[in-house]
Structure 1
Amino acid sequence: MANQNYSKLVRSASLLATCTAILLLMIKSVAYLMTGAVSILASQVDSLMDIGMSLINLFAVRYALRPPDNEHRFGHGKVEPVAGLIQAAFICGTAIILFYTGVASIWAPKPLTQSGIGIVVMLISTVATLLLVLYQLYVVRQTHNSVIKADSLHYSIDILMNLAVVAALVLDEFGWRWADGVFTIAIAVYVLHSAWQIGIDAFNHLLDRELDEATKIDILAISQGVEGVAGTHDLRTRQAGHIKFIQLHLELEDDLTLIHAHQIGVEVEKRLMARWPQADILVHLDPLSVVGDDVRSEYYY
């Protein structure tokens, strides 16, 4: 049931992002044709990029949800950080286009027409994007999906971009022709910074970076809370898509029977699974007599 709810949420979020991007591209295209504002053109190009990214994310989410098979025994979750790297590349491309259009506008500013219509369109775009981001943030809280998280960050940037375009159009009404280009360049710099963040996060996932410290502390606290566990060491963690991989050694009394030791290990796995239902857990049982001080001192938990 938990897995079905996860699938439903991430699929709906990725599909909603695609539909929203298509809608925004259509209305921004009309606004640019009516106003001639390069800041709207920049936002329009960004919406075109959004469609490409949303389609990639839609594919990545569906592929990552496939169960493990004979050729992919650890599942297909790593397609998500791959999609994140592609997303970062798309965003970098957006930033380059924005920077170019901004410089061109400052070099040869042109008077805008029907700025009022442009302002209304961008405000509508802002509201639509805000509603999408709110739903994406809800999905991220429920699923911790990295693809939806990256997409949410990008659309949050879009909100700032839309407001910056509105500010540029308003300033143009007062005769500040340079505002359109300056705001476009500022948006480009911010978008490039966001692309860097998304790319680094995806890169760390591909390199099997450890889970955060708070999660690792929780893992050890749960494990050591099981009766019969004298200690733990050699904790290793990573994440691929929605699956957390957890490996650790349990230190048990020497005189336990094999069946009793096995029951303790199963209980640890059950409690960890109760906390992280999507986790892949592997525990190793060590008699206390073979666990030397050098092993304990090597790990700071």
Structure 2
Amino acid sequence: MTEWLVHRFIHDADQTDRPDVRGAHGTLASIVCIVCNILLCTTKGLVGLAAGSVSVVADAVNNLTDASSNIVSLIGFKLASRPADKGHPYGHGRIEYMAGVVVAFIIVAVGLDLAKASIQKIAHPEPTDFSPAVVVALLLSIGVKAWMARFNHALARRIDSVTLEATSQDSKNDVLATSAVLAAGVVGKIAGIDLDGLAGLAVGAFIMWSGFELVRDTLDPLLGQAPDPKLVSHIHDTIMSYPGVLGTHDLMVHDYGPGRKFASAHVEMAAEIDPIRSHEVLDSIEHYFEDEEDLPLVLHYDPIVTFDPEDHDLRHWVSDQVKTIDGRLTVHDVRTTCP
């Protein structure tokens, strides 16, 4: 069912970086999650109130909060899919990262509220009716949330979405949380002790911890995290594979949202080669990344003197001296001029 839905709405994986396509699939995921969470909240809320279980009611409230975070995601995808304009020449893709941060903070808030309610239940215990209806409702929730986690993860991989990945992680947390509530109820029923409050406290602490991790993961792109080393290596190796290229350096990758990366680099080529020919090679590299990788790349031409052995020796000497200061430093564009 999960794979059918993903493939039903994503016909061509090559188009998933387009803002309108990403927005359509983000909207699909958000609407599916909103409907599922509202149904789960209603079912568990009614059953939890009838049984007097704070952990089941808290779990239902968690689903309602999940629906709210799905609405945030829906708005985020809608805004992020807007085309570039004069004020935002690189588009609005970072709004999706911001939506992911909001979802992560909502998860932390839910965990905190659940922990507070559980502490109150521990301090002022009330009898809990762990009936078959409660068991059915919790099992239903576990099944639906497990499917939602898989569904959102599949879409997140296809469109490279941190927001959907956060939503998927939230669903996994819900599976663990509801399982803990169910386990506490079963053990309590068999042993004749009430573990409802303790189970709710443990679940709340776990949700808060996972929420803080999601905050960190979703903030990183907004704070300008380093590009994926695999992407850097791929760009470097591709540039070096072209004829006449002697080296490349100062590679910079800018992330303006999922599917909106831009890059620039310096490319060293022999100064003796006709500059027009070197420019043609650089143009072909740029066109390749634009057409095949959907990555706008701007290359700067660095002519390197290769026929003068003195220049070659000087460059190596300067490079060796610089590395004595810091092994991470490199030297480029060493030239000698006569007064």
- The verdict on a shared fold, with TM-score over 0.5 as the criterion, is yes
* Partner residue in 1 for 2:261: 244
Identity %: 25
For the 8 Å contact 2:188–2:195, the answer to whether it is kept is yes
For the 8 Å contact 2:76–2:99, the answer to whether it is kept is yes
- Which of 263, 269, 272 pairs up with 2:280? 263
Tell me how large the CA RMSD over aligned residues is: 2.5
* Partner residue in 2 for 1:75: 91
The normalised TM-score by structure 1 is: 0.90
| 1:30-59: CA deviation from partner (whole Å, max 9, x where unpaired) | 221221111112211211211111011111
Q: Which runs of 5+ in 1 are unaligned?
A: none
> Which residue identity does 2:150 align to in structure 1?
L
- Which of 48, 56, 70 pairs up with 1:54? 70
Q: What is the distance in 2 between the residues matched to 1:276 and 1:165?
A: 47
| 1:99-142: CA deviation from partner (whole Å, max 9, x where unpaired) | 11111122222222252211111111111111111111111221
User: What is the CA-CA distance between 1:94 and the residue it aligns to?
Assistant: 0.6
- Which of 64, 85, 105 pairs up with 2:80? 64
> Which residue identity does 1:98 align to in structure 2?
L
For the 8 Å contact 1:102–1:181, the answer to whether it is kept is yes
Q: What is the distance in 2 between the residues matched to 1:20 and 1:103?
A: 29
List aligned pairs for 1:4-19, cutoff 5 A. Answer: 5-19=21-35
Which of the two has higher C-alpha Rg?
2
User: What is the CA-CA distance between 1:176 and the residue it aligns to?
Assistant: 4.7
For the 8 Å contact 1:109–1:177, the answer to whether it is kept is no
User: Aligned pair 1:22/2:53, yes or no?
Assistant: no
- Which of 145, 149, 155 pairs up with 1:133? 149
For the 8 Å contact 2:177–2:203, the answer to whether it is kept is yes
The normalised TM-score by structure 2 is: 0.81
Q: What is the distance in 2 between the residues matched to 1:214 and 1:203?
A: 21
Larger RCO, structure (CA 8 Å, separation 6 or more): 1
Q: What is the distance in 1 between the residues matched to 2:197 and 2:117?
A: 7
For the 8 Å contact 2:22–2:81, the answer to whether it is kept is no
Q: What is the distance in 1 between the residues matched to 2:58 and 2:228?
A: 37
* Partner residue in 2 for 1:31: 47
1:126–1:285 CA distance, 2 compared to 1 (3 A): same
* Partner residue in 2 for 1:203: 219
* SS of aligned partner of 2:84: coil
For the 8 Å contact 2:245–2:267, the answer to whether it is kept is yes
User: Aligned pair 1:150/2:166, yes or no?
Assistant: yes
| 1:66-92: CA deviation from partner (whole Å, max 9, x where unpaired) | 221111011111112211221222112
